[in-house]
Amino acid sequence: MSDQTGRRIVIRPDGRAETETFAVPSPGAGQVLIRTEYTAVSAGTELGSQEQPRAGDYYPGYSNVGVVVECGRDVEDIPPGTRVLSAGGHASHVVSAIGPPYMARVPDGASSRDAAFGVIGMVAMHGARKAAVQLGEHVLVTGAGMVGQLVTQLIPGDAAETLTVADLSEDRLAQASALGATHTICPGDGELAELHRAAVGEPVDIAVEATGYPQLLPSIIDVLRIGGRCVLLGSIWHREVTLDLMPLHEKEITLQGCHQPKCPDEPHAYYPYSKTYNSRAFLERVADGRVQVAPLITHALSPDDAGEAYRLLRDERDAALGVLFDFTGG
């Protein structure tokens, strides 16, 4: 298919989002060519990446669902017509290896729209696992974007005594409440600890920080109990904060970095939760209804509207939550 032309989203060095055409490559050995149906926007990663100075173009996206249309050599168990999740970008056609780390078959019970959030779901799954919530613990999730909404659903409800979600958007908080949060709070500057104490009456055992803005850390440290833990799940993107370490020291707080790509490509005895395992496990939860993605999808836009998609996620957080690019129109 080397003579076929596709289209993809590109971010220029000045920040403009455009679409461009490209020559669709043929798959090599152990690879398949996928015709994309939907791709999901990872707001934290993609907006953060656009903030970084660049001299060249940037091709965003890493959560792609489509149909296999051509197989390379040595591909026998994924025939054309198979729906798959891959780490392909926002492009009409992507080539992906069939093995680890990301490719997974999409179960029949999962729609392509929902499954397009599969890699983002893997981020949330890694965060829920790092949180390691124990029976009776009080949990706080800061940030009710897609990752925050998904990690809220993945934290075991029979383990957490309370599961509180904090965000500045009342609409996002209402959605989090509908999907399992026991409490929601909408803090202003410096009010997080006070509002949590008023709502729950207990300090936080573990906080999952899903906004990517380290300015929240002083307030999170304030609300954590002695010996509490904070999982840094949101993409920080070199954002800096001045932090007084004395409260961290006196309360013996643990800060846990959480970066999904550090999951191994292949399982091993000490950490069996590989990327392949996580992608399959997340999609199974979507297929059987244990994780709800459809209520979180607010926009399915044409790739030609990429600039508007990023504007919505940046400027209209009450209106935009789960944003997809729809490549089914040709």
- Give me the residue spans of the domains in the chain: 5-117+271-326, 123-258
273-328 pLDDT, tens digit each = 999 899 999 999 999 999 999 999 999 999 999 999 999 999 998 899 999 999 99
Q: Find out whether 45 and 62 touch, Cβ atoms under 8 Å.
A: yes
Helix axes of 43-51 and 306-315: crossing angle, nearest 10 degrees: 100
CB of 181 closer than 8 Å to CB of 203: no
Q: What is the pLDDT of residue 118?
A: 96
Over residues 161-172, mean pLDDT: 95
Q: What is the pLDDT of residue 224?
A: 97
Q: H helices within 155-252, ranges in order?
A: 170-178, 192-200, 217-223, 245-250
Helix (H, G, I), strand (E, B) or coil at 38: strand
Contact 36, 88 (CB under 8 A): yes
8 A C-beta contact, residue 92 and residue 106: no
Report pLDDT for 190.
64
pLDDT above 60 for 204: yes
Residue range 67-103, pLDDT digits in tens: 999 999 999 889 999 999 999 999 999 999 987 777 8
Phi and psi at residue 276, to the nearest 5°? -65, -45
3 or 258, which is more confident? 258
CA 207 to chain centre: 17
- Would you say domain 5-117+271-326 falls under CATH 3.90.180.10? yes
pLDDT single digits (tens) 105-148? 999 999 999 999 999 999 999 999 999 999 999 999 999 999 99
- Residue 233 in this model has a pLDDT that exceeds 90: yes
What's residue 179's pLDDT?
96
Check residue 107 and give its pLDDT: 97
Q: Element (H or E) spanning 120, and its range?
A: helix 118-131
- Among 41-45, 91-95, 228-232, which is the least confidently predicted range? 41-45
- Residue 209 vs residue 100, higher pLDDT: 209
Q: What are phi and psi of 170, to 5 degrees?
A: -65, -35
> Among residues of the chain, what percentage have pLDDT more than 70?
98
- For residues 307 and 298, give the distance between their C-alpha atoms in angstroms, rounded to a whole number: 16
Name the average pLDDT for the chain.
93
Contact of 127 with 258, CB cutoff 8 Å:
yes
Joined together, the tokens standing for residue 134 give: 């124990």
Nearest 10 degrees: CA dihedral of 126, 114, 182, 252?
20
Beta-strand pair 64-71/31-40: antiparallel
Confidence at residue 51, expressed as pLDDT on a 0 to 100 scale: 80
Split at pLDDT 50, 70, 90, the class of 8 is very high
Q: How far apart are CA 163 and CA 142, in angstroms?
A: 11
Q: Quick one: angle between helices 118-131 and 146-154, nearest 10?
A: 50
User: Which stretches of the chain are assigned E, i.e. beta strand?
Assistant: 5-11, 17-23, 31-40, 64-71, 83-86, 93-97, 104-105, 137-142, 160-166, 183-185, 204-209, 224-232, 254-257, 297-301, 322-326
pLDDT at res. 254: 96
What per-residue confidence (pLDDT) applies to 101?
A: 73
Position 294 scores a pLDDT of 97
Bond prior to 218 in cis (omega within 30° of 0) = no
Domain at 123-258, CATH class: alpha beta
